[in-house]
Structure 1
Amino acid sequence: MFDIKLIRDDPQAFDAALAKRGAEPQAEKLIALDAKRRDVIARTQEAQTRRNATSKEVGAAKAKGDEERANALIKEVAELKEALQKGEEEEKRISAELDDMLSRIPNLPHEDVPVGKDEEDNVERHKHLEPRRFNFEAKQHFDLGEGMGFMDFEAAAKLSGARFVVLKSQMARLERAIGNFMLDLHTSEFGYMEVAPPVLVRDEAMFGTGNLPKFAEDAFRTENGYWLVPTAEVPLTNLVRESILAEEELPLRMTAFTPCFRSEAGSAGRDTRGMIRMHQFSKVELVSITAPEKSAEEHERMLSCAEEVLKRLELPYRVMTLCTGDMGFGARKTYDIEVWLPGQDAYREISSCSNCGDFQARRMGARYRPGDGDKKGKGATRFVHTLNGSGLAVGRTLVAILENYQQEDGKVAVPAVLQPYMGGLEVIG
């Protein structure tokens, strides 16, 4: 969400930044609509001033016994009241139209984000470990899971349809172990506060993080109006909605292990088998709320926290800096972590860490009050910066473990760091 004043001050720069994302120019029509709104406000204020002055004249005319003058003035007051009402309604309508237009415009990319059209233009930042090779043909995770009898897509289809899975026995325990390991790491070593948030939220929460109004079709909604969260980013970030934090409270770091729900609209034909693209999946989410000057540093820190999960699991991965055309709607800069999947012979996304700047904060009304040492703020409130990242997607981590730790006999070794969470079990199958 943008301040229209920012657009009025430099419309060319605003449109140039949008062009980097492949978006059409917006400044001219936004400024025209804002000018119309301000004209209505000016006319309405003028009518209010005239109405106040005329009301006083009514009393003066009556005091002089000039009934004819008083009646004429009363009629004028009534006309001004009607004009005021129409002006207020028009201003409300135009403001709503302007806000709706602004709410559908994506965040502007940071100046150091590579310019590009799609994922082909993303830039590799670094790699960790070489991809694993086997002296046998590597299987995909769904063949391994179904072969063990611990991954059942047919049963899930009977219950819920496509893009669902039933995990059983040791596989269900392994998924739980992965999530618990991630939570313990982020809370005990990286200072994130664990939160157990609701996974049903209102329109305002989805709007605050940029999921509404533009991406309603990507989410699930209940008949009584609640939204199932596409990620815990939504409830965690909205915990500071309509708040004014003290500078000493920042950075605020939170994590949650929740189910997530996505309609996968537009994904027909993609990853139709297996657990890569599901309607329901589990994820450990990381959210940070910071002062503007600290958000770039916090972004790097969040990335390193997510990477550490994969390092401890000894899984090969690479980090990509997303180009302007591949970033999410609310992000100003994004790093994707892609884990190596031997069964697919490819890297696949397992985490996305984004710095949203003040984009979400403006939508939520989330501010902080700088201390006395802040010369820029001088005590006035400022919008916080918000960041979010997967720390990690639990289902995709399960997929990565199955494919990277598979054995020739179809069983799967349990990574050493997860064995304590599995009661000492070293192999599943």
Structure 2
Amino acid sequence: MHDIRLIRDNPAAFDAALARRGFAASSAEVLALDERRRTAATRGQELLARRNEASKAIGAAMGRGDADAAEALKAEVAAIKTDLPALEEEEREAGAALDDLLARLPNLPADDVPEGEDEAGNVEVHKWGEPRGFDFAAREHADIGPALGLDFETGAKIAGARFTFLRGQMARLQRALAQFMLDVQTGEHGFTECATPLLVREEAMFGTGQLPKFAEDSFVTTDGRWLIPTSEVSLTNSVREQIIDLPRPLRLTALTPCFRSEAGSAGRDTRGYIRQHQFDKVELVSICRPEDAEAEHVHMLRSAQLILERLGLPYRTMLLCAGDMGFGARKTYDLEVWLPGQAAYREISSVSWCGDFQARRMNARYRGENGKPAFVHTLNGSGLAVGRTLVAVLENYQQADGSVLVPEALRPWAGGLEKLEPVY
């Protein structure tokens, strides 16, 4: 959500920032609704004050025997009582329309975010590792996986397209990856493990920006609760409607299933395990003071990068341009892992700094040095998406005979398993 005072003070700058994100100028509409709401509120307050004043004057007029004045004042009070509901409704309607408009406008990009309309404008800022050379034709995970226990057919029979059933050593590898990530983030990077609800209320989805704009991309139950598209929703909302102490960043992590309808991605990655309706992810969330946010963004990015490095997976870091960032982000880095089967880098993590955008939607604040409450800054990122990491392991560690080596760093979490062998 946006600070209406900043829009009033500099509407041209607000529209220019929206334009960088590919959105039409909106300050005129915002300010018109704001003026309508404020005018109705001011007029209502004036009438209330006059009603109270006239009511007192009625008693005084009657006390001095001035019946005509008393009757005139009574008529004025009656007229005010008639006019007030319409003004209150006008204020309510204008306020609701203003809130709805602001809720649908994206966060404004930070000054150092590059210009661009889509992923073509993203900038590579870092690359790690050299893609492995193969003495055979590298295959995609969808071709390697079924013989190892990645069962697309059974998943589809049970639940439909974009659901997968994992068996035996494949299920164990996925569990090992998730546990490895969680243990590294909690043991080495200062994140506190949480176990969160998978179903949340509408206001929680609104707080992190999934609603109202992206309702079609998520699943909702018959009683109005929403399946989390990421535990960013439940972790970040853990501080909603609170004033918290923040001597240092509050770092939270959770391993959860995530659920996405993928309504806006028809036809993309329909084959394989990359884009699923249900997938596991180790999410990273940080709540901090504004002055700590930039350093915290770097810390979260490094926390995700180190997982890939420990697993020996080549990747690159991309600074997203203004037109390619997520709705709630003011600055985002994407990590893209190398997939030799596709001969391409593919996204495996987004690490975003949201400023106070989500905090305003949640009314999440901290008490500053002056004792006055101020909005926190929120950050979130994947540390990592487990299924996509599984894909990267399968493709980067594949062998000519169809087996897949388990990365050495992962073996203690896999019970010493060194290789996945074709068995299905």
Same fold (TM over 0.5): yes
Match of 2:15 in 1: 15
Structure 2 stretches lacking a partner, 5+ long:
none
Q: Which amino acid aligns with 1:231?
A: T
For residues 37 and 283 of structure 1, the distance between their equivalents in structure 2, rounded to whole angstroms, comes to 43
Match of 1:47 in 2: 47
Match of 2:106 in 1: 106
For residues 198 and 7 of structure 2, the distance between their equivalents in structure 1, rounded to whole angstroms, comes to 35
Match of 2:77 in 1: 77
Q: Which amino acid aligns with 2:394?
A: L
For residues 191 and 39 of structure 1, the distance between their equivalents in structure 2, rounded to whole angstroms, comes to 49
**Does the 8 Å contact 1:201/1:228 carry over to 2?**
yes
Q: Which of the numbers 250, 255, 259 marks the counterpart of 1:257?
A: 255
For residues 143 and 257 of structure 1, the distance between their equivalents in structure 2, rounded to whole angstroms, comes to 28
Q: Which of the numbers 398, 401, 408 marks the counterpart of 1:406?
A: 398
Q: Which amino acid aligns with 2:116?
A: G
Matches within 5 A, 1:58-73: 58-73=58-73
Q: Which amino acid aligns with 2:355?
A: G
Match of 1:124 in 2: 124
Match of 2:324 in 1: 326
RMSD over aligned CA atoms reads 1.0
**Does the 8 Å contact 1:20/1:325 carry over to 2?**
yes
For residues 48 and 124 of structure 1, the distance between their equivalents in structure 2, rounded to whole angstroms, comes to 60
For residues 256 and 213 of structure 1, the distance between their equivalents in structure 2, rounded to whole angstroms, comes to 25
Question: Higher mean Cα deviation, 79-88 or 191-200?
Answer: 79-88
3-state secondary structure, aligned to 1:336: strand
3-state secondary structure, aligned to 1:210: coil
Aligned pair count? 421
For residues 323 and 233 of structure 2, the distance between their equivalents in structure 1, rounded to whole angstroms, comes to 23
1:300 corresponds to 2:292: no
Matches within 5 A, 1:352-371: 352-371=350-369
Displacement of 1:11 after TM fit? 0.6
3-state secondary structure, aligned to 1:330: coil
For residues 268 and 302 of structure 1, the distance between their equivalents in structure 2, rounded to whole angstroms, comes to 31
**Does the 8 Å contact 1:243/1:365 carry over to 2?**
yes
Displacement of 1:381 after TM fit? 1.4
Q: Which amino acid aligns with 1:400?
A: A
1:341 corresponds to 2:339: yes
Q: Structure 1, residues 246-275: CA drift from partner, whole Å, max 9, x if none?
A: 232x30000000000111112111111111
Match of 1:157 in 2: 156
Match of 1:375 in 2: none
Question: Higher mean Cα deviation, 390-399 or 415-424?
Answer: 415-424
For residues 138 and 50 of structure 2, the distance between their equivalents in structure 1, rounded to whole angstroms, comes to 82
Displacement of 1:33 after TM fit? 1.3
For residues 423 and 10 of structure 1, the distance between their equivalents in structure 2, rounded to whole angstroms, comes to 59
How does the TM-score come out when normalised to structure 2? 0.98
Displacement of 1:67 after TM fit? 4.0
For residues 180 and 423 of structure 1, the distance between their equivalents in structure 2, rounded to whole angstroms, comes to 12
Q: Which of the numbers 392, 416, 420 marks the counterpart of 1:424?
A: 416
For residues 187 and 208 of structure 1, the distance between their equivalents in structure 2, rounded to whole angstroms, comes to 25
Q: Structure 1, residues 171-216: CA drift from partner, whole Å, max 9, x if none?
A: 0111111000001000011110000000100011001101111111
Q: Structure 1, residues 53-78: CA drift from partner, whole Å, max 9, x if none?
A: 11112212332344444333223212
Matches within 5 A, 1:352-391: 352-371=350-369, 378-391=370-383
Match of 1:31 in 2: 31
Q: Which amino acid aligns with 1:123?
A: V
Percent identical across equivalent pairs?
63
Question: Higher mean Cα deviation, 348-357 or 75-84?
Answer: 75-84
**Does the 8 Å contact 1:133/1:342 carry over to 2?**
no
Displacement of 1:227 after TM fit? 0.4
Match of 1:192 in 2: 191
Q: Structure 1, residues 96-134: CA drift from partner, whole Å, max 9, x if none?
A: 100110111100000000000100110001111111221
For residues 71 and 158 of structure 1, the distance between their equivalents in structure 2, rounded to whole angstroms, comes to 80
Q: Structure 1, residues 359-396: CA drift from partner, whole Å, max 9, x if none?
A: 1111111111123xxxxxx2211111100000000000
3-state secondary structure, aligned to 1:135: coil
Match of 1:203 in 2: 202
**Does the 8 Å contact 1:18/1:108 carry over to 2?**
yes
Q: Which amino acid aligns with 1:225?
A: G
Matches within 5 A, 1:176-325: 176-248=175-247, 250-325=248-323
3-state secondary structure, aligned to 2:254: strand
For residues 209 and 111 of structure 1, the distance between their equivalents in structure 2, rounded to whole angstroms, comes to 22
For residues 71 and 168 of structure 2, the distance between their equivalents in structure 1, rounded to whole angstroms, comes to 87
**Does the 8 Å contact 1:255/1:285 carry over to 2?**
yes
For residues 256 and 385 of structure 1, the distance between their equivalents in structure 2, rounded to whole angstroms, comes to 19
Displacement of 1:417 after TM fit? 1.3
How does the TM-score come out when normalised to structure 1? 0.96
Match of 2:386 in 1: 394
Structure 1 stretches lacking a partner, 5+ long:
372-377
3-state secondary structure, aligned to 1:425: coil
For residues 257 and 357 of structure 1, the distance between their equivalents in structure 2, rounded to whole angstroms, comes to 24
Q: Which amino acid aligns with 2:127?
A: K
**Does the 8 Å contact 1:340/1:348 carry over to 2?**
yes
Q: Structure 1, residues 256-306: CA drift from partner, whole Å, max 9, x if none?
A: 000001111121111111111110000000000111011011101100000
Q: Which amino acid aligns with 1:105?
A: L
For residues 222 and 247 of structure 1, the distance between their equivalents in structure 2, rounded to whole angstroms, comes to 35
Displacement of 1:233 after TM fit? 0.4
